[in-house]
Structure 1
Amino acid sequence: MDITLKYKNLFLILGKWIIFGSIIGIVVGSTTNFLLETNDYLGDDIRAKRDWLIFLLPFGGLILGYIYMKYGKVFLNNTLNDTAELNNLVIDAVHGKKEVPRRMGPIVYFGTFLTVLFGGSTGREGAAVQMGGSVAAAVNKFFKVNRFDTKIFIMCGISAGFGAAFGAPITGAVFGMEMAALGKLKFEALVPCLVASFVGHFITTAAWGHEHAEFIIQSVPELSVITFLKVILASVIFSLLSVLYCQLRHGIQKLSEKLFKKNHMKRAFVGGMIIVALTLIVGSQDYNGRGLDMLEQSFKEDVPPFAFLAKLVFTSITLGTGFVGGEAIPLFFMGATLGNTLHTFMDLPMSFLAALGLIAAFCGGANTPIAAFLLAMEMFDGKGLEYFFVACIVSYLFSGHHGLWPSQKIYEPKSRLYNIPRGETIENVEKKKKL
């Protein structure tokens, strides 16, 4: 009788998570498709044909700052939840520290559209993840689930947003569990995250017909000790690139908040002015927006040798001064273009090194080695899996305890060499280092 009851409860719980995961996947898949299609239209069809729109970026920053200052702060359970914290707020919600307001998704979508239309350097998957968290919060509120299940709902939203945004459902499932903490996978969320990610991906591609960008590795070097040593060296360089980006981006954010006393409107206006000036100095808009053209070019032919640095500066200023969007695609750009530059010195195929840089830079910044490896398998059809596995491990270790999202918790230090207490956030570790 006890066994029958256990199986009954098991199937009830499985059924519950399949239903909830599907609901979140359907809604997030549809909203993500809207995000992708609208961003493509604003960036490729409107901004790319009207260079003068870049001069409106500072004024777009004023509008964006006003929205976040006026409508972005929400008190829930006597706690201030600031939607301007972006993915950090979603991570804090997974840990139960804060809540994701339902308005977060619409606000970040509008902010991303403004940033893209006027030429800020940003991606879009951040908006998909935050909309995922917002949808999960709305579903949670509607069904009135308990506190523990709320965290799983948020992870489902992350998985659905990531899987739908990149066309990588397996990666999305793991990313939702891996994003919040270093050294710990929340396997209790495996089934709902898997369902949400696959349903979100299916809705975006099969139901709505969105086609994701493809990056093709032309050739993979044969397995050899020399090649592995080159891959390890390159991965260390890519990990340092991710650290440089994270430090610069967060440094600019802290400096701008201090200078303008956390006035979002002033920060974004001045940031927009700086981006306009840099665009005029560079003489092209290759580093504004997502930069997909040069990202795709890095797999096929030579790109400017310092393109990765230009993108790093443009993105750090854009996001550090209060504009919004994703950080994965800019990191893809930096890693791939640096790989393109390194291929001359390392005697490895261009497309292979570009792909390696794309994955390793993302892994070092996001601190998600398993999701990054799975992303490589899904993006590049399983080519060079041994090399990508090593690259993800090396980049994860050598990037240290830095990252895109200061709210990430360190459940296990990356190595015994790092004397870091468990349970600290990346932000607290950074503060203690400076002290």
Structure 2
Amino acid sequence: MASDEKPVSDQDGEHGSLLMLAMLALIVGAASGFVGALFLLSLEWADRFRDVIIGWSHSKSFAGLLVVGIVCAAAAAIAVWLVGRFAPHASGSGIPHVEAVLNGQLPQAPFRIIPVKFVGGLLAIGAGLALGREGPTVQMAATIGHLVGKVFRCNWPDCRVLLAAGAGAGLATAFNAPIAGAIFVLEELVRRFELRVAIAALGASATAISISRLLLGDAADFHVEELTYAGAATRPLYFILGAAAGFAAIVYNRLLLGTIAAIGRLNRWLGGLRAALIGAAVGVLAWFVPDLVSGGDAITQRVLAGREIFALLPIVFLFRLGLGAISYAAGTPGGLFAPMLVLGAQLGLFLGRLCQLVFPDLNIQPEGFAVVGMAAFFVGVVRAPLTGIVLVVEMTANVTMLLPMLGACFTAMLIPTLMRDPPIYDSLREQTLERERMRPGQREHA
């Protein structure tokens, strides 16, 4: 009688292959955590160095302003030169490229993308551009995963699994959020549950965090004062916050894509000066308002602590909105997650304080709105609700706002979807593929 069961020898072979893949995922995670932690430590050094230069320059008046502008312009220009000369796919976030590779739409970039992404990201973010640290860590870690697969002579399906697992480890390291890193792989990168990918992603994220915490410490990225659970009377307000985040996400996506297109059209006149001019402009801004440039973690912490002036929140929000779009359009390495979290926190705190004024009898904590706003805005832009919610919970070490987050993320995701606004990484991946089609014969193979 015929049987659907596989022979024992075949099952043993599959289990052995899976065990080998799991062991390699641990190696990928450890290497990714180490490289990612070094990158984050280097960024801290670069931020301090920029602050020292700005502090010194204020004593030199206009000459000091000129020095800051030149230094930032040079850093951005060198970052773009490294990308163009050695690894074109290192431009921008890198997540759209990783997605395209996993979908079989592009070949994996050469392994030299790792040093290019590291140095280029350090120069760009260190110069004050409003870019996220997770873009470089995700793409570097994904490449490390593919490299480990190649070293151990894995076939493409196994290399693909290790590449995805490495990407998750990179996100986990960037935000000290191991569960979000694993969820990000399944929800955003491969967009379906694959057992082998899930096992590898969990293992890689676990070892990445174990290594990175040895260098960076165990504390959550952001400190939030104790928040009370949202009462029944305040919960509808979080749906309104989600709706506001959804509309703001549409504006963000369209502004980012429009800025990239506009600055891209200027390339025929500006050429390689594009990044230098943007870097110089950011340097001038840093001279006048040093606390409002770079990735934005310090801003997010101030917002979560409720230390921002209510009347200035809309102004700072618009400032960061425009700065983020222009910074990304420069073409340097750098991600979007961290700047998005800044905007979401600002939007949430503003609406929280507004609701506090309108409904003084309700027990409203504006800082709780800021926490929920981070998740809602992220979900509106990326359309990855599980990643957004878990990421914010892990970064703030706060679970009391989990129920409000669900409601806010529901409306934040619904509105852009009804408005037919595509997720930002879908749009950026299409741009990546279009640029690749415009460079015939220049595809880079690993």
TM-score past 0.5 threshold: yes
Partner of 2:161: 152
Partner of 2:425: 405
Query: What letter matches 1:203 in structure 2?
Result: I
**Given the alignment of the two structures, is residue 312 of structure 1 paired with residue 312 of structure 2, yes or no?**
no
Aligned to 2:408: 391
- Listed as ranges, the gaps of 5+ residues in structure 1 are 74-81, 410-424, 429-435
For residue 227 of structure 2, give the secondary structure of its aligned residue in structure 1: coil
Provide the alpha-carbon RMSD of the alignment: 2.6
Does residue 1:34 correspond to 2:49, yes or no?
A: no
Q: How does 1:38-57 map to 2 (within 5 A)?
A: 38-43=42-47, 45-51=48-54, 52=57, 54-55=68-69, 56-57=71-72
Question: In the alignment, residue 197 of structure 2 is paired with which amino acid?
Answer: A
Contact 1:91 1:407 in 2 (8 A): no
1:134 aligns with one of 128, 135, 143: 143
CA distance in 2, matches of 1:5, 1:115: 53
Post-superposition offset of 1:242: 2.5
User: What corresponds to 1:113 in structure 2?
Assistant: 122
Structure-to-structure mapping, 1:297-376, within 5 angstroms: 297-303=302-308, 304-306=312-314, 307-347=316-356, 348-376=364-392
> In structure 1, what residue type is equivalent to 2:78?
I
1:111 Cα offset (Å): 1.1
Gap change, CA 1:157 and 1:122, over 3 Å in 2:
same
Which residue of structure 2 lines up, in the alignment, with residue 253 of structure 1? Answer: 260
**Structure 1 residue aligned with 2:61:** none
Query: Structure 1 length normalisation: TM-score?
Result: 0.85
Residues 217, 326 of structure 1: alpha-carbon distance in 2 compared, 3 angstrom cutoff:
farther
Call closer, same or farther: CA 1:406–1:367 in 2, change over 3 Å: same
Query: Given the superposition, is the C-alpha separation of residues 205 and 7 from structure 1 closer, same or farther in structure 2, using an over 3 Å criterion?
Result: same
Alpha-carbon distance, 1:140 to partner: 2.2
1:337 offset after TM fit, Å? 1.3
Do the aligned partners of 2:230 and 2:401 also contact (CA within 8 Å) in 1? no
Alpha carbons 2:165, 2:205 under 8 Å: kept: yes
**1:96 pairs with one of 104, 120, 127:** 104
Of 229, 234, 237, 2:236 maps to: 229
Contact 1:96 1:151 in 2 (8 A): no
Partner of 1:218: 226
Mind listing any 5+ residue stretches in structure 2 that lack a counterpart?
Answer: 58-66, 357-363, 434-446
2:304 is paired with a residue of what secondary structure? coil
Of structures 1 and 2, the larger Rg is shown by 2
Change in CA separation of 1:234 and 1:203 when aligned onto 2, cut-off 3 Å: same
8 Å CA contact 1:33–1:210 kept in 2: the answer is no
Q: 2:26: which partner in 1?
A: 22
Relative contact order higher in (CA < 8 Å, ≥ 6 apart)? 2
Contact 1:369 1:392 in 2 (8 A): yes
Q: Which residue of structure 2 lines up, in the alignment, with residue 77 of structure 1?
A: none
Identity %: 20
Q: 2: distance between equivalents of 1:160 and 1:68?
A: 23
Shift of 1:324: 2.5
| Residue 279 (structure 1) shift | 4.8
Cα distance in 2 between the residues matched to 1:30 and 1:297:
29
Structure with higher helix content: 2
- Work out the CA distance in 1 between the residues paired with 2:83 and 2:157: 29
The code of the aligned residue for 2:405 comes to F
Distance 1:372 1:212 in 2: 16
1:84 aligns with 2:101: no
The change in CA–CA distance for 1:135 and 1:223 in structure 2 (over 3 A counts) is same
**For residues 259 and 148 of structure 1, what CA distance do their matches in structure 2 show?**
41
